[in-house]
Structure 1
Amino acid sequence: MKKRLFIFYLLMFLFALPSQAVLKEKDLNNTLSILRNELTQTHQEQKRMQIKFKNSSDKVKKNLFAILSKSNQNALMLYSQKLDYVFDLAYACHEATDQFRDFKENSLPFRSYVTKINGEVARYDSLVGSLQSMPTMTLSPKAKIDRNVCLTLAVSIRNNLLESKNMLQDYIKYYDMTEHRLKYLNDYANSRYSEIQNNIFKNVGENYFSILSNLGTQVNKTAETVNDKYHTSKKLHSQWDSRMIVGLFLSIVFYGIISILLNLLAIRYLMPRKLRTEQFLLKRPCIMMATSTVTFAIIIGIIRNAVNQNFIAMASNLLVEYAWLLGVILISLLLRVDGKQIKSAFRIYSPLTLVGFIVITFRIALVPNDLVNLIFPPILLLCTIWQWSVISRHNENIPRSDMFFTYISLIVFVASTICSWIGYTLLSVQILIWWIMQLTCILTINCLAEWLAKYAAKHHIEEKPINRIWIYNLILKVGLPIMGVSSILISVYWAADVFNLTELVVRLFNARFIDVSNFSVSISSIVMVLVLWFIFAYISNTTIAFMQLHFNKKDSRTAASRNVMGKNVIQVLVWGIWLLISLAILHVSNTWLVVVSGGLSTGVGFASKDILENIYYGISLMAGRINIGDWIECDGTRGRVSSISYTSTMIEATDGSVIAFQNSQLFTKNYKNLTRNHGFELSVVNFGVGYGTNVERMRKVIIAAVEALNIPYIDKEKPLSVLFTEFGDNSINFKFICWVDVTKQVVTESQISECIYNTLNENDIEMPFPKRDVYIKEMAK
């Protein structure tokens, strides 16, 4: 059933349904006039669309009959397959299940449309009844005519609706028949899929040593099987006979040669000479192979779309997948390996690419099990020896990452060889094709990672702000990790596609291997949670980076504390959303969360009273009360704020010690922020001069002397002052007042005191020291 065709029919049908209505007018005559006009428009539109709908009904039925015909064809193909022909059987099962899935996905709810039409018919029955029972003696002549016309139109519209309903009921009958047929075929195909699974994973066949002991018998049996399968009748022509298979492989050779010639001519005559560097010449054979592979894949894709033939379609899809595998390996090597290593690097992947082509050949030719069991184990043994040989000869001339992949390939070869020789030949095919697809995904990701690394080094990405590299980070930190996680599922899916077991794999991915009342886990749900983790980590980091960029530009003094608070708020919001989404994906019920949180809330609240209080004050501090770098004084301790957290504030004291104040302490002890306003503090230096000193002269010389020092830490915008304070016992006392940078207050006050002392001495101004007169009274003898 073609979805677009049915959507088109549905839209025509919905247009045909009446949608007009009237509201309360000034009188009945006017209402009838309005109703007549609207019913006329509805009737005309309905007739026009219904004619198209009737004309398309044959096409709808023809399409349903085509689906039935295809299902019969799939049934004949499926019921006639032998269990020994596992590739043929898998293809037939796939066609049956795929047709049923498409039918269910693209079908339309005819019954709901019939229900809607029934409602419209009932509405027009009521309208017809109302018009028929309407008294005419009070109507004007024109209104009587309008009433008769409305009655005629309403009856006609109702009859058209009933006709459409009958037509849809015919569709329902054909649809039910088609669905029943496809469902039965789908159930049968799934049962045969189970047999294929058992043959691959459970049912062990005859081990290869037994086959070798009866080699003659096995060869004769296999020859009979091959002759029976590929025997071509001259009277009949099939899309799947041996002539098509031979013709396909001859076409592969032909188009392969064409691809090589095209790329050879392009490189020789079209490539500029300045690009023909020494590295290019060393890599030219690999470049030729890579470009020829891509060209071959394009040609096969064009043939796939141009030729409407089932065997060609199936074979082309497999060949394009194999071309992608080979192309990815070659392009990856071109990007990552220098010219001197390229040949060695390609040779270590040669055994795997050859086995991949052999498996694709088995799949395209639908090779019977007997032939696979006979020839595949020795092929695997030879490829395993070949893989070990290339590793021993080229392991010192290739990158370490490729060596790692090659050793894994050797392990896979050994495991597959063992499986094939003990009787699990189809399982060995499955293992090999899985690793081939997994390696393809890994090398694809490797290619992108290498390209991104070169791009970053060339454009100095690490030195650029976030607003210029967020797309790069999106690809690097989200795209590549998601591709890595998804590659595991994709490789398993492609490996299952060799035996057309993709639907079973999808069900396996969605199967809940942990399924309790408030919690369930499946492979797909775990992957979704991981994918969301990468996405939300990127959102969190990028948002924080943009925020820090904004704060640093706005106010560098307050940037540090605002960054800390903003970072924590963003992380709580982003990861809170991720947690809620993840819990929903894992079907975690919020009931037990509510119960647990309710039970613990009271105890946690009392236990966390002080912590919560510190957090509250910490948020208040980070909101701008204190900034990192501010100088504060609390409880007799003066120092610079080095960090602010939700629970405490770190102070680097002037004596070199580091002190941590709880945030609540800063508020209860009324801390002083020394740099909140302008960073200067009023400094007072006390001194005294002798009685009889000229105060005005003394004031001028001291102020002039301090100004002459040009101390950079004194606020030049505020004047220096010398203030008379008191008449002392031995001196008249003064205060020298100035505004000093709080970070340099001690040093500056020392310089000012020394300057006052020297200035008074130089100007012969007396600085009296305390004097005491002692009177000795003679005691009477």
Structure 2
Amino acid sequence: MKRLLITLFAICIVLPSTAVLKERDLSTTLKVLRVELRKAWDDQQVLMKRIQTNREAQHKEMVSLMERSAQVSLMLYSQKPDYTFDLTFACGEATSLYREFTRKRRPYDRIMQRLNIEVERYDNLIKMLQLLPPSLVQATNQKPAANDSLRQGPPELAKEQKRTPIQLDAESQKNRQECLDYATKLRENISKMKEETSRDDEHYKRITEQLKKLHDYAQKRYHEIQQNIFINGESSYFTTIANMPRHVKRAHQDATDKYDDKDYRGTHTEWRGPIVFGFVFFIVFYLVLSVLLANLVVRFLFRKVKRLKTENLQLRKASIIIAASVFFFILSIMIARTFMYHDFLKLATELLVEYAWLLLFVSLSLLIRLSGDQIKSGFSIYMPILIMGLVVIVFRIVFIPNYIVTLIFPPLLVIFTLWQWWAITRHNDNIPKSDIFYTWISLAVMGVSCVMSWMGYVLLSVQVLIWWLFQLTAIQAVTCFFDLLGMYRDKYLKKRLRKFRAKHKALTVALNSKIITVTWLFDFIRMVIVPVVGVYSVLYCIFLSSDVFDLSDTCFVIFFYEFLNIPDVISLSLFKIVVVVAAFFLFRYINYLCKSLIKHYKTSVAIKQNGGKLIRRNQINLMLINNVTSIIVWGIYIIAAIILLKIPKSGISIVTAGLATGIGFAMKDTINNFFYGVSLMAGRIRVGDYIECDGIQGKVESITYQSTQITTLDGAVMAILNSSLFSKNFKNLTRNHSYELVKIPIGVAYGTNIDEVRKMLVDELTPLNYKDKFGRWVVDQEKGFSVLFKDFGESSVDLYVAFWIIVSEKVQFMYKVRETIYKTLNANKVVIPFPQRDLHIMKE
């Protein structure tokens, strides 16, 4: 790459040196051009050898690219789809090589373009020199003369040329001849450079086609991997348990195929067998070495340094040794990595060092933030998620096959989740509230990952866990920085403030708050830098976690994907949202800074005018200027957000119309209905619910800021004011389980066998049950139909036919039930009595 750029630079030095500007006349122009061409010729002779050397290096690099392309192609095309870690690594190598080749190809294309331009330029220059009268062109349809044919044309042509208005004198013709000689030689050298440089053109085209095909294949595999991780998943772990022998056998076979090198005897490979086990020994050796070195250093410092002999630090000694061990381990691995040449060892140590840095950041955060009696609890509550992260990193390092992950990861995750729960119940009373919150989130993440893995989304659960490990590290770093800012404020900033107050007593009393001239940088770090880093850490941690499956490119696609893109209204992506949120903290600080500076300035002026005496609060009116400042700052923020979110004028018009509508809600009843409508929309009722108000049942069709529209069971449309729904007791008939209890009263004659009536009615009504279009039983199948004894009536034994029915099917189904009850009782000659009265007419 460097040599190719040097070649381009050398050519750029040589080629443009033949420039001539507009001189006094044509003769002078030819003189200057002769000098320029001679200088270009001399420079070209010096640089030709260097260009040749660089071109040979370029050719070697192209050959190396061809070899790497073939190697990566063989690696990718040979990967099995069941080995996700292997496949993603191969896809990552393919896409990286494609990007690298595309980047390295650009200088070559620029060189060829430049050479083509220069050949064309010199062709035109030579032709123009030959056409100057007296012309050296032999015929109008012949090519320009070369070095050996730079002579006069036929007599007829010479006779014709004498008639032209201008003629070169003898000196100009001599200069023209020298210019032609130099230009022709320069063109020949450039043509030779072009020919030699373009000899690799066919190879570049072939590599481009091969890598493009490889890149497309890798993207296709990436898409399948994403589908398997996020959408398809595998069979649930319960299915795995049911077929455990088969899965164990398959996992054993995959482990043998992956790590046993008995079939590779005599063939050296860097990715299996002794290399893998040698790496484990390598890591254990350096880990033991780091622990021993950390023990020696820490204990020596604790004995020699008096400041370290405090009780608080003595309680932290074990934790300090752990952090020092991690640091020495990182240092030793990074030094050893410089001497490595195996690709596997380089990749494995890189991943391990990344994990060690995470562990070091968490350890340092706990050491800084927690007191001596809390430090042990702090390490205990974070240990499950940290070790779980190490397990995932090991999976990635050894490229563990999918079947083995599917077999061992779900139960392993259950164990670690229980461990996390145990650590929380035992140690959460002895740690800060922020860490209690973080540990509960860790437990929730592990619980979600556990459910995912048991449902078959094992790789997704791995992705979620590693993301939370990175995110937890970022959170610990941000929290630690906040605590460090608090320590700085208590130890140093307060001293500066006390000195300032002592010097400017009247000013500080009048301000009655922070002195912005002293605290502006502290406030900027606390209000802007730390929150913005925390916001952007979300994207960065997602990016880092995606590298476990080499899905970094996919991350950028997700970050910039416009998941909400309404033309002429709004355009939203995850990256835009993060930028807008981060900008909020910046503009909040700007608003705070402007107000504080204005207050500081006006207070200082008022004190000076008052002779240095204290001033009253009402002497300075900041209300208007503060409001104007807020309007200006937040107005700029809103405009910037609108530009970023690509909200056009039509979108702004929508917002303006909404504000205008809000202003119109000035009357009391209208405002009540508006806020009641918001409350209803928040979830108290939803479109599609069946409600009952004042004895009227209906289906909710829409909820507006003023009223709720329902369609009654008889088909009528009603609009109920939102305030009416709140002032009266309304029932949501479908919010719970969509079933409503219905009781149909019937009466049978005294002396009727109730058990027989109950049996015959249940037997006849049960077949009426059916499923609606959503697959639900119209009548709750578990509860079914019941015939209940209600009361002793005047003329009959009163019964209830009770059942739970879907509200939306109630009307039609009730007709069938009543008809079936009547037919059943009538067919079985069960008397349905009715009230009778005897009238006695008495004559007087």
Query: Would you say same fold, with TM above 0.5?
Result: yes
Native 8 Å contact 1:279 1:339 kept in 2: yes
Aligned partners of 1:75 and 1:185 also within 8 Å: yes
Q: 2:647 aligns with which of 575, 578, 588?
A: 588
Seen in structure 2, the aligned counterparts of structure 1 residues 28 and 570 have a Cα distance that, compared at 3 Å, is same
Match of 2:538?
Answer: 488
**Of residues 42, 45, 48 in structure 1, which corresponds to 2:46?**
48
SS of 1:241's equivalent?
coil
How far does residue 512 in structure 1 lie from its aligned partner after superposition? 0.9
Q: What residue in structure 1 maps to residue 563 of structure 2?
A: 513
Aligned match of 1:209:
238
Whether the 8 Å contact between 1:16 and 1:47 is mirrored in structure 2 is: no
Pair 1:364–1:144, CA change in 2 (3 A): same
Report the Cα distance in structure 1 between the residues aligned to 2:367 and 2:97, rounded to whole angstroms. 42
What do the CA deviations read for 1:487-546 (whole angstroms, capped 9, x no partner)? 222222222221111211221111111123333211111112222232333344334544
* Change beyond 3 A, Cα 1:105–1:116: closer
**Percent of aligned pairs sharing the same letter:** 37
8 Å CA contact retained: 1:64, 1:178: no
* CA distance in structure 2 between the aligned counterparts of 1:574 and 1:170, rounded to whole angstroms: 61
Q: Distance in 2 between matches of 1:322 and 1:388?
A: 23
Decide which of 260, 269, 289 is 2:322's aligned counterpart.
Answer: 289
Matched, 1:448 2:481: yes
Give the alignment of 1:147-546 within 5 angstroms. 147-232=176-261, 233-271=264-302, 272-460=305-493, 463=497, 465-518=515-568, 519-546=570-597
Q: Give the 3-state SS of the residue equivalent to 2:572 in structure 1.
A: strand
Distance between the aligned counterparts of 1:62 and 1:513, measured in 2?
46
Q: Residues of 2 paired with 1:94 and 1:115: CA distance?
A: 32
Q: Distance in 2 between matches of 1:213 and 1:172?
A: 59
Call closer, same or farther: CA 1:20–1:571 in 2, change over 3 Å.
Answer: farther
Residue 6 (structure 2) pairs with residue 8 (structure 1): yes
Question: Offset at 1:206?
Answer: 3.3
Distance in 2 separating the partners of 1:324 and 1:275 = 25
Determine the structure 2 residue equivalent to 1:729. Answer: none
Cα distance change on mapping 1:533 and 1:49 into 2, 3 Å: farther
Gaps of 5+ in 2: 135-161, 498-513, 610-614, 664-844
Measured in 1, the distance between the counterparts of 2:648 and 2:104 equals 34
Q: Which letter maps to 2:571?
A: S
8 A Cα contact 2:38 2:182, kept in partner: yes
- Verify: 1:33 aligned to 2:36, yes or no: no
Q: Is the Cα contact below 8 Å between 2:308 and 2:314 reproduced in 1?
A: no
Q: Distance in 1 between matches of 2:19 and 2:231?
A: 68
1:218 CA drift (Å): 2.8
**Structure 1 residues 134 and 555, CA gap change in structure 2 (3 angstroms):** farther
Corresponding pairs, count: 599
CA-to-partner distance for each residue in 1:74-114, whole Å, 9 max, x for gaps? 11111111111111111111111122223334541655554
Measure, in 2, the Cα distance between the counterparts of 1:9 and 1:227.
51
SS at match of 2:80: coil
Superposed CA RMSD in Å reads 3.0
CA distance in structure 2 between the partners assigned to 1:47 and 1:596 by the alignment: 70
TM-aligned CA deviation for residue 338 of structure 1: 1.0
Name 1:685's counterpart in structure 2. Answer: none
Letter in 2 for 1:588: I
TM-fit CA distance, 1:589: 3.2
Which AA in structure 2 matches 1:102?
E
Q: In structure 1, what is the equivalent of residue 754 of structure 2?
A: none
Indicate conservation of the 8 Å contact 2:603/2:620, yes or no: no
Deviation at 1:287, TM superposition (A): 0.5
What is the SS of the residue equivalent to 1:18? Answer: helix
Contact kept in structure 2, 1:100 and 1:183, CA below 8 Å: yes
Instruction: After TM superposition, give the deviation of residue 116 of structure 1 in Å.
Output: 4.5
* Distance in 2, Cα, partners of 1:93 & 1:62: 25
By how many angstroms is 1:586 displaced? 1.8
Instruction: Tell me how far apart the structure 2 counterparts of residues 323 and 365 of structure 1 sit (CA, whole Å).
Output: 17
The alignment partner of 1:512 has SS state of: coil
Contact 1:551 1:562 in 2 (8 A): no
Aligned residue for 1:206, secondary structure, equals: coil
Does the aligned pair in 2 maintain the 1:6–1:108 contact within 8 Å? Answer: no
**Take 1:404 and 1:15, find their aligned partners in 2: how far apart are those partners?**
64
Q: Compared with structure 1, are the counterparts of its residues 30 and 193 closer, same or farther at alpha carbon in structure 2 (3 Å cutoff)?
A: closer
- Tell me whether 1:129 sits opposite 2:127 in the alignment: yes
Checking the alignment, whether the CA contact within 8 Å between 1:208 and 1:423 is kept in structure 2 is yes
After superposition, the Cα gap between the structure-2 partners of 1:107 and 1:589, relative to the gap in structure 1 and judged at 3 Å, is farther
Report the Cα offset of residue 279 of structure 1: 1.0
Would you say the 8 A contact 1:348–1:390 is kept in 2? yes
Deviation at 1:591, TM superposition (A): 6.9
Give, as a single letter, the amino acid of the residue that structure 2 aligns with 1:12: A
Letter in 1 for 2:641: S
Could you give the per-residue CA deviations for residues 662-709 of structure 1, whole angstroms, max 9, x where no partner exists? xxxxxxxxxxxxxxxxxxxxxxxxxxxxxxxxxxxxxxxxxxxxxxxx
Q: Is the 8 A contact 1:536 1:578 kept in 2?
A: yes
Tell me the amino acid that sits aligned with residue 499 of structure 1: F
Output the CA distance in 2 between the equivalents of 1:105 and 1:119.
22
- Between stretches 471-480 and 582-591, larger displacement belongs to 582-591
**Distance of aligned partners of 1:44 and 1:469 in 2 relative to their CA distance in 1, 3 Å threshold:** farther
Distance 1:520 1:107 in 2: 35
Residues 61 and 596 of structure 1: is their aligned pair in 2 closer, same or farther, counting only changes over 3 Å? same
Give the superposition deviation at 1:439.
0.9
**Cα displacement (A) at 1:57:** 1.4
Q: TM-score, normalised by structure 2?
A: 0.66
2:740 aligns with: none
C-alpha separation in 2, matches of 1:104 and 1:594:
45
Q: Specify whether residues 228 and 290 from structure 1 end up closer, same or farther in structure 2 by C-alpha distance, changes over 3 A only.
A: same
Q: C-alpha separation between the residues in 1 aligned to 2:626 and 2:347?
A: 53
CA distance in 1, matches of 2:277, 2:326: 21
Q: In structure 1, the residue corresponding to 2:565 is in which secondary structure?
A: strand
User: Hey, what's the Cα distance between the residues in 2 that align with 1:380 and 1:551?
Assistant: 62
Letter in 2 for 1:251: F
Moved more, 210-219 or 278-287: 210-219
Deviation at 1:479, TM superposition (A): 1.6
Residues 92, 543 of structure 1: alpha-carbon distance in 2 compared, 3 angstrom cutoff: same
Shift of 1:240: 0.7
Residue range with higher mean Cα deviation, 284-293 or 26-35: 26-35
| Map of 1:643 onto structure 2 | none
What's the CA shift string for 1:622-652, capped at 9, x where partnerless? Answer: xxxxxxxxxxxxxxxxxxxxxxxxxxxxxxx
Contact 1:111 1:172 in 2 (8 A): no
Give distance in 2, aligned partners of 1:491 and 1:65. 38
Offset of residue 213 of structure 1 = 3.7
Summarize the alignment of residues 713-732 of structure 1 with structure 2, pairs less than 5 Å apart.
Answer: none
1:457-482: CA deviations, max 9, x gaps?
A: 11235937434433322321122111
Q: 3-state DSSP class of the match of 2:549?
A: coil
1:274 and 1:372 mapped to 2: Cα distance?
49
1:416, distance to aligned residue in structure 2 (A): 2.0
Distance 1:166 1:555 in 2: 81
Q: In structure 2, what is the Cα distance between the partners aligned to 1:596 and 1:280?
A: 58
1-structure distance, mates of 2:360, 2:182: 68
State the 1:413 CA deviation.
2.2
Retained in 2: the 8 A contact 1:329–1:443?
A: yes
